């Protein structure tokens, strides 16, 4: 059994109980982490509170140096980190390396730079000086789908801002967080600045959120759990940042480059086996080009070879758990019951062992169907036709409770941006514009509150003080 990282040391959990970590490709148990107890939360929050004065008083550039050293170590050990992520969450090794390891190392490095570059105390408004000060002790609660990235999107800016942190990583794929705690230990982050308690959400997650000495809760996960976290945090009027679910749309206008639009949409929908909050899981196409688009999507999906994350030819790894696989299978059945047409994929098990689902494309999906409204979190793309003009496409795109991401494919960039502006969503790619890890990321509507990444992400962890002179 692993230990928790509390006050600068690895310590056994007070609970004595553990959670098995399962490799979703082999279904074998590969590790065991503590199912933390309330006493562990107490110890972690006390350590974070005690470390706050010294860390918030450390020069921002010096805080940045420690973060830069940690980012360097992640890069040096990228093979080891990518193997951990491929093993406990099932991302193909190439994805685990590029998207799940090197990108988050870049995010941490960006906060090392920002700590030094950001103006924490230089702003003036008339006769007032404006100071940006750390919020305090931050509880960070993260999901399993990008198990290092989601952690660093919180811990990077929190530490850069001068906050101290208690992290509760997902119980489903916690091993990258354990590796990260080891790295922070190695680079000499002072004791108590970063603490980690593993365990279940309804027990220690809630104990952490409700703890009176926690000043801010930064949560990434499902909308269901986010709602609960926000309600608990409201009792203490704590600052809350929520990164929640999505059901994002890729809107393909009639004069777009259809082949590119469909290929990139499928790639986005199936990245990480569809277990991406910002996945473009709905493809909205004008009726005139719809059949062609569905055909292109089916051909693209056929190239997503399902297999072991460590096989070179694999483009689609397993889903993270049996529960997640079963959930996705239920949605595929539901789609068929609702009358959507299964073009490719389906509920058959592609491999005997492992929690795999075939890459799946549905056509004939209509607005309002369950598979059009709910986040499936698997490799399932819903193709939705529209017959009238742009207004109808925009209405369908905006017609879910979510608003996290999306795409617009248009004949010109200008037209694409005009439609992007009409989408009630936090980030939009126009004609394939690439993900930018320094641009603000977050949701409208029930996809969340607040923004992560870059300067916007840093400012989530800062209070604003005005001093009148």
Binding status of residue 373 toward ligand NAD by CB under 6 A: no
- Interface map 404-443 toward ligand NAD (x if CB under 6 A): x--------------------------------------x
Name which position in 19, 155, 176, 244 contacts ligand NAD (CB under 6 A).
244
Binding status of residue 143 toward ligand NAD by CB under 6 A: yes
Q: How far is the CB of 217 from ligand NAD (least distance, A)?
A: 9
CA angle 196, 202, 203 (to 5 degrees): 60
Binding status of residue 211 toward ligand NAD by CB under 6 A: no
Binding status of residue 16 toward ligand NAD by CB under 6 A: no
Nearer to ligand NAD, 200 or 456 (CB): 200
Binding status of residue 33 toward ligand NAD by CB under 6 A: no
CA angle 102, 107, 109 (to 5 degrees): 90
Report helix, strand or coil for 341: strand
Contact present, 360 and 376 (Cβ < 8 Å): no
Binding status of residue 144 toward ligand NAD by CB under 6 A: yes
Nearer to ligand NAD, 10 or 200 (CB): 200
Nearer to ligand NAD, 146 or 290 (CB): 146
Nearer to ligand NAD, 87 or 281 (CB): 281
Query: Which residues are known to be catalytic?
Result: 243, 277
Nearer to ligand NAD, 225 or 306 (CB): 225
Binding status of residue 177 toward ligand NAD by CB under 6 A: no
CA angle 352, 371, 340 (to 5 degrees): 85
Pick out residues in 146-175 that bind ligand NAD (CB under 6 A): 146, 150, 168, 170-171
Pick out residues in 439-468 that bind ligand NAD (CB under 6 A): 443, 447-448
Torsion of CA 200, 203, 208, 213, to 10 degrees: -160
CA atoms of 292 and 267, how far apart (whole Å): 17
Q: How far is the CB of 202 from ligand NAD (least distance, A)?
A: 5
Report helix, strand or coil for 344: strand
Nearer to ligand NAD, 200 or 310 (CB): 200
Segment near ligand NAD (CB under 6 A), from 16-24, 216-224, 258-266, 281-289?
Answer: 216-224
Q: How far is the CB of 228 from ligand NAD (least distance, A)?
A: 4
Binding status of residue 145 toward ligand NAD by CB under 6 A: yes
Q: How far is the CB of 17 from ligand NAD (least distance, A)?
A: 15
Binding status of residue 273 toward ligand NAD by CB under 6 A: no
CA atoms of 267 and 431, how far apart (whole Å): 14
Segment near ligand NAD (CB under 6 A), from 100-108, 202-210, 296-304, 349-357?
Answer: 202-210
What is the spatial order of strands in the sheet that 239-243 belongs to? Answer: 9-11, 4-6, 194-196, 164-168, 137-141, 216-220, 239-243, 448-449
With a CB cutoff of 8 Å and minimum separation 6, the contacts of 335 are: 342, 362, 365, 369, 370, 371, 380, 382
Q: How far is the CB of 222 from ligand NAD (least distance, A)?
A: 3
Report helix, strand or coil for 11: strand
Where would I find the H helices in 303-346?
322-337
Binding status of residue 360 toward ligand NAD by CB under 6 A: no
Name which position in 16, 53, 122, 202 contacts ligand NAD (CB under 6 A).
202
Nearer to ligand NAD, 171 or 390 (CB): 171
CA atoms of 221 and 121, how far apart (whole Å): 33
Name which position in 162, 192, 221, 454 contacts ligand NAD (CB under 6 A).
221
Segment near ligand NAD (CB under 6 A), from 219-227, 247-255, 325-333, 408-416?
Answer: 219-227
CA distances from 464 to 20, 133, 218, 232, 332 (A): 43, 6, 18, 24, 48
Q: Which residues pair with 462 in a beta bridge?
A: 134
Distance of CA 352 to the CA centre of its chain: 29
Using the CB atoms, write b or e for 359-368: b if 16+ within 10 Å.
bbbbbbbebe
Of 302, 245, 249, residue with least CA distance to 276: 245
Contact present, 187 and 73 (Cβ < 8 Å): yes
Residues that bind ligand NAD (CB under 6 A): 141-146, 150, 168, 170-171, 200-202, 205-206, 209, 220-222, 225, 228-229, 243-246, 277, 375, 377, 404, 443, 447-448
């Amino acid at each position: 059994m692993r230990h928790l990282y509390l006050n600068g040391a690895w310590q056994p959990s007070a609970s004595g109980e553990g959670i098995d970590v399962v490799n979703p490709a082999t279904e074998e148990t590969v590790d065991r982490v503590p199912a933390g107890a309330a006493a562990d939360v107490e110890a972690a929050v006390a350590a974070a509170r005690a470390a706050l004065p010294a860390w918030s008083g450390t020069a921002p550039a010096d805080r940045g140096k420690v973060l830069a050293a940690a980012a360097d170590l992640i890069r040096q050990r990228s093979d080891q980190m990518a193997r951990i992520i491929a093993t406990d969450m099932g991302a193909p090794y190439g994805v685990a390396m590029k998207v799940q390891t090197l990108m988050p190392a870049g995010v941490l490095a960006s906060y090392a730079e920002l700590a030094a570059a950001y103006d924490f105390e230089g702003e003036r408004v008339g006769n007032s000086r404006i100071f940006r000060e750390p919020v305090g002790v931050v509880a960070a609660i993260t999901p399993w789908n990008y198990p290092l990235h989601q952690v660093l999107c919180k811990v990077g800016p929190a530490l850069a801002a001068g906050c101290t942190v208690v992290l509760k990583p997902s119980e489903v794929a916690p091993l990258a967080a354990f590796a990260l705690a080891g790295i922070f230990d190695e680079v000499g982050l002072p004791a108590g600045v970063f603490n980690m308690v593993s365990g279940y959400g309804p027990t220690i997650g809630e104990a952490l959120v409700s703890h009176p000495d926690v000043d801010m809760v930064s949560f990434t996960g499902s909308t269901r759990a986010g709602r609960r976290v926000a309600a608990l945090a409201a009792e203490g009027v704590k600052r809350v940042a929520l990164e929640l679910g999505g059901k994002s749309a890729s809107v393909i206008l009639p004069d777009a480059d259809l082949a590119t639009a469909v290929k990139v949409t499928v790639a986005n929908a199936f990245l990480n086996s569809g277990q991406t909050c910002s996945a473009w899981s709905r493809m909205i196409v004008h009726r005139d080009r719809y059949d062609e688009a569905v055909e292109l999507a089916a051909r693209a999906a056929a190239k997503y070879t399902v297999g072991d994350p460590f096989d070179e030819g694999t483009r689609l790894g397993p889903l993270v758990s049996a529960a997640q696989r079963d959930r996705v299978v239920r949605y595929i059945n539901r789609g068929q019951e609702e009358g959507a047409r299964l073009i490719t994929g389906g509920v058959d098990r592609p491999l005997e062992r492992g929690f795999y689902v075939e890459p799946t494309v549905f056509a004939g999906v209509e607005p309002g169907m369950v598979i059009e409204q709910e986040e499936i979190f698997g490799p399932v793309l819903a193709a939705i036709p529209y017959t009238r003009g742009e207004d109808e496409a925009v209405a369908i795109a905006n017609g879910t409770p979510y608003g996290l991401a999306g795409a617009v494919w248009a004949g010109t960039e200008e037209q694409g941006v005009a439609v992007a502006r009409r989408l009630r969503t936090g980030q939009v790619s126009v004609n394939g514009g690439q993900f930018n890890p320094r641009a603000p990321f977050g949701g409208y509507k029930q996809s969340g509150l607040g923004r992560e990444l870059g300067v916007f992400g840093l400012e989530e962890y800062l209070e604003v003080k005005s001093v009148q002179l």
